[in-house]
Amino acid sequence: MKRFVEAVSSSIVVQAVLAILFGLLLAVWPQATTVTVVYLFAAYLAITGAASLVSYARHRSDRPGYQGALATGIFLLILALIVFVFPEAVAGFFSLLLGILLAMSGIVNAVRSFELRRFGGGSWLGMLIVSIAVAIGGVVVIVNPFDTTVTFVLVLGLLLIAKGVIDLVIVGLTSSKEKAQYR
């Protein structure tokens, strides 16, 4: 049992240190990290498009499936080029979609919370407040999508740092309790 606890503690420590390091990366360079993720997405599109073109070139055939590989390859390469050339616009576009989804979700949940009012109780009011906050957050993302994405990445980094530190504290406290118990 003692070895199992040590193995789990060791794994948690490694995960905590990685969370802190990744969190620092996100918190210190949120804009660069966002653009890097977009570039990685573009690289994925380019590799997938090139693979489709290679597949088409290796298996030239008049069968319909291979013509689709050619069209898919060309489309993915063009898409990759667009993402490489306009990384901030692409990141902003994904944020814009997220903002639209958040705003719509907040509005729908606000309407649902009014429906809950007829069942009595005060829970509908709390749900209404949260729904309005979500809808407002969605509108903020729609108005300024790229900066909102960078802010989200920054907050994500800070949360990862906090998670890593908390994990390390928990492991430290439990390992000291375990050592005291086995003495």
Write out pLDDT tens, residues 41-60.
Answer: 999 999 999 998 888 888 77
What are the pLDDT digits (tens) for 72-91?
Answer: 889 999 999 999 999 888 88
Amino acid identity, position 131: S
CB neighbour list of residue 105: distance below 8 Å, 6 or more residues apart: 134, 135, 138
pLDDT of residue 39: 93
pLDDT of residue 77: 95
Residue 145 pLDDT greater than 90, yes or no: no
The tokens for 59 are 């298996």
Distances (CA, A) of 33 to 5, 90, 116, 129, 156: 35, 14, 42, 33, 11
**To the nearest whole number, what is the mean pLDDT of the chain?**
83
**What's the CA gap between 22 and 162, in Å, rounded?**
11
Q: Are the C-beta atoms of residues 128 and 111 closer than 8 Å to each other?
A: no
Containing structural domain, residue 150:
2-182
**What's the CA gap between 24 and 162, in Å, rounded?**
10
Number of domains in the chain: 1
**Higher pLDDT, residue 119 or 158:** 158
Whether this model's pTM surpasses 0.85:
no
